[in-house]
Structure 1
Amino acid sequence: MRKNLALALTGVATLFALTACGGGTASAPSADVSATLDPANPTIVKVGASPVPHSQILEYIDENLAAEAGIDLDITEIDDYQTPNLALSDGSIDANFFQHVPFFDDQVESKGYELEHGEGILLEPLTAFSKKYADAASVEDGAVVVLMNDPSNQVRGLRVLEGAGLLSGIVDGDSALTVESDEAKNPKQLKFQEVNAEQVPKFYQEDPAVGIAVVNGNFIVQAKLNKDEVVAVEPTENNPNANILAWRAGEKTAGVAKLDELLHSDEVSAFIKTTWPEGDVIPAF
């Protein structure tokens, strides 16, 4: 089953509590992850996920693998990057599937969430698009670049631009704000515009001032961006930004454990490769 969840509908009180105190509530004891799941009486697992590709992968599992494994997925689609961990922390869902490890680590540290995660499942390479420039070498001084505004994805986007020869010397902790005014790191004096991840394609498609937009793989697919406009792509080899399944600390139930196992199955790997043959989404296991 699939439904949608908006940021405004989740526990706002939880957000204020976590932001203020820097920590979450204590986790309940873990269930026995070795407990037998019964296909005749499947365990419902509530999962929050981005619509593309995460929800699509979960739907494939629900329709093809879950019943025999003894679970039944209740999938909630969530369009933004803040709601899923809020919903997981306040108990609205049992697990979420939308984020990569650096983003997870930043959320846990900055908001005090008590969460855990499994091994990498998929990778969505960041890609730089341009309607104005045929390639990175032709990018003019002072060009406007749209980046995601969350810290982990922003430095990742800066590294994509560095790999294309547009920036230099990017290190962990760099941001659009620090790099823009640094002549050594930003010799072309690029101007950065920071927006929510899901808004990057909209700015790119609708704002004629935008020279380059660095877009996450799931939003490339969702917005059906033109691959002829690609000027740089994030390397996939040894990429640390694999997306993972997350759950509340100490609450990896038998159902959640089984879902994590299925997400790492040969069937899911084959589904990813078949559904996204151009490499917008690739298996990370």
Structure 2
Amino acid sequence: MWRLRSPRISHLVGRLSQINVVSDVKVQQYRCCQTLVSPPPSSFQQTKCDPPDTVVPRSYIGENVSRKDKTKYLYSTLLELNDSKETVYGALDAWVAWEQNFPIASLKKILNSLEKEQQWHRVVQVIKWMLSKGQGMTMGTYGQLIRALDMDHRVEEAHKFWEMKIGSDLHSVPWQVCHVMISVYYRNNMLEDLVKLFKGLEAFDRKPRDKCIIQKVANAYEMLGLVKEKENILAKYSHLFTEEGPTKPHRRNSFESKKDMHLTSDKPRQRQSRNTSSEEK
């Protein structure tokens, strides 16, 4: 009977036999490797669905890696990845997979480091990933995202995000975040939106504390041909230009002023660099 079978069937039977032999060898090698690298004994119970010697306790994975090294590893990884959203999101998902609590503090440090390197597109991706996880939903994060979108030449997206998330609640938005958006409008010559935002803040009796905001609004009125409104706004808030500040300004105020100089235009930035060089001399 076996002599009468065709050569094709004989070849198929031979291949199936080889596959069975190879499969048995691979299974034996897999079990041997799993035995060699199996973790220390744990309190986890073996189930029928688990392969032999493959149960790894959750606390055992990455417990010997410090938080600083984990943060440094993610930062270097983000710098090397391409701009694909799926790739970046996948790396972030893998990084937090074994964390008991969401590492918001470490991500804030990474975002600050990315800002120093002017990796604005990556800052946008990381913040959007955080927001998709329901984390970092604060005004500080929103302001950081708007600033990164502006520096990444996505001002229309920054404007839409402001209108959708922040612009409908102007009575409670911190002035620091409002100043960021005013600077974005001023930088991109969106003067009508700037004036509209400032009028909305005034409607809630919000009084600005920084003369830089008033100066930008006044300049916007002038460039729009509204000279009368410019004079009115300067007269209304003239006390901000005449009041003398404290002898030792707070570090936060000095930081905000430097940030504002960075967002307005290139001319103030050059003037600031010349002043800095003269002081160093």
| TM-score for the superposition, normalised by structure 2 | 0.26
Larger Rg: 2
The alignment's TM-score, normalised by the length of structure 1, stands at 0.26
Higher relative contact order (CA 8 A, sep 6+): 1
Answer 1 or 2: which has greater strand percent: 1
More helix, by proportion? 2
